[in-house]
Amino acid sequence: MGESQKFQLGTIGALSLSVVSSVSIVICNKALISTLGFTFATTLTSWHLLVTFCSLHVALWMKLFEHKPFDARAVMGFGVLNGISIGLLNLSLGFNSVGFYQMTKLAIIPCTVFLETIFFRKQFSRTIQFSLIILLMGVGIATVTDLQLNALGSFLSLLAVLTTCVAQIMTNTIQKKFKVSSTQLLYQSCPYQAMTLFIIGPFLDGLLTNQNVFAFNYTPQVLFFIVLSCLISVSVNFSTFLVIGKTSPVTYQVLGHLKTCLVLTFGYVLLRDPFSWRNILGILVAVVGMVLYSYYCNRESQQKASEAPVQLSQPKEVESDPLLSVENGNGIHGDGGPKSPVWSSNKDLHA
């Protein structure tokens, strides 16, 4: 099997793991929130990261991967930034309507494209831009309902978008700069992310829910779903770093919107959640955008491979990280960086 085929299989595996684990944790957390009333999203995320770190420590002890220390300040800054971005996304959701929060999530892709273009001189072709516009239109049609604006909520959303974009860009650049794997980076940054969220989590959750996480009635059923959520989060967090490392932050965000469409479809088919023709139309448009994005990225990747001698003399990059293609070394993080967790009973909760 050639190197390109191995990269392709690795990328497909990472994308598949990310989708399956993310949808699974949404199902688990919906039961935890809607049925059992456990709405402490930020604190739960700190537990997710703590369990992830412990799992990776066991894997290190079993010599499943090699510990590779590097710039401690970069790791600490990256971990704290990831934790802050998750907290800001939760605050954005708490102080805005659901529709405005969905717009915040949609804004992450154009913001990432802008930052990569300005600071990394990365080029996005017109076809890639066109496919991303179609994707965002579809997700917007399917998910955005009301748009109630307020000054504080808008400011928090702006901070959430910026920190999330920077954190995801750093995920890719750190792996390439220091030549560390997604597992090695996750292992070293997890304690800082968990510590940040563990400190701010109870305060944020109390502010958003008017409840005390430590005074909650932890029944055996609640504990079971918390443990299950934490175990699934290990796969979610690992696949997040893996996908961004193998592709790019933009591709990871495209994948995130695919998960949103899958969750909506799952909720309608199995849970009989309310569904309208607007949801169906939006999902179909979004799928068209994802297919076009994957197709154009794959085509540009093949063109770049065939013109390698010419490309070596050019300083700029082209976005060529297809949704289902090989890692080519280009490109520059959580429901949540990982995607943000969502704490309301009728919203999705990611790790």
Q: How far is CA 314 from the centre of its chain?
A: 31
Structural domain boundaries, residue 164: 11-120+148-248
Indicate the SS3 state at residue 123: strand
Indicate the SS3 state at residue 147: coil
| pLDDT over 90 (residue 227) | yes
Whether 306 is covered by a domain: the verdict is: no
Q: Which residue has the higher pLDDT, 6 or 213?
A: 213
| pLDDT over 60 (residue 45) | yes
Mean pLDDT of the chain: 80
Encode 273-295: b = buried (16+ Cβ within 10 Å), e = exposed. eeeeeebeebbebbbebbebbbb
Q: Which residue has the higher pLDDT, 342 or 93?
A: 93
Q: How far is CA 351 from the centre of its chain?
A: 9
| pLDDT over 80 (residue 176) | yes
Whether 59 is covered by a domain: the verdict is: yes
Q: Which residue has the higher pLDDT, 120 or 81?
A: 81
The answer to whether the Cα torsion of 300, 133, 109, 16 is positive or negative is negative
Backbone dihedral angles phi then psi of residue 157, each to the nearest 5 degrees = -65, -40
**What does the pLDDT average to over 134-148?**
80
Whether 345 is covered by a domain: the verdict is: no
Whether 337 is covered by a domain: the verdict is: no
Whether 166 is covered by a domain: the verdict is: yes
**What does the pLDDT average to over 211-226?**
93
Confidence of residue 58 (pLDDT cuts 50, 70, 90): very high
Whether 206 is covered by a domain: the verdict is: yes
Whether 68 is covered by a domain: the verdict is: yes
Roughly what angle, to the nearest 10 degrees, separates helices 220-246 and 249-269?
140
Alpha helices, H only, 96-219? 98-106, 108-119, 126-143, 151-177, 182-209
| pLDDT over 70 (residue 146) | no
Give the count of domains, the chain.
Answer: 1
Using CA atoms, how far apart are residues 266 and 278, in angstroms rounded to an integer?
16
What is the structure's pLDDT at 228? 94
Whether 329 is covered by a domain: the verdict is: no
Confidence of residue 335 (pLDDT cuts 50, 70, 90): very low
Using CA atoms, how far apart are residues 320 and 305, in angstroms rounded to an integer?
10
**What does the pLDDT average to over 293-322?**
65
What secondary structure letter does DSSP report for 117? H
Using CA atoms, how far apart are residues 165 and 335, in angstroms rounded to an integer?
13
What is the structure's pLDDT at 273? 62
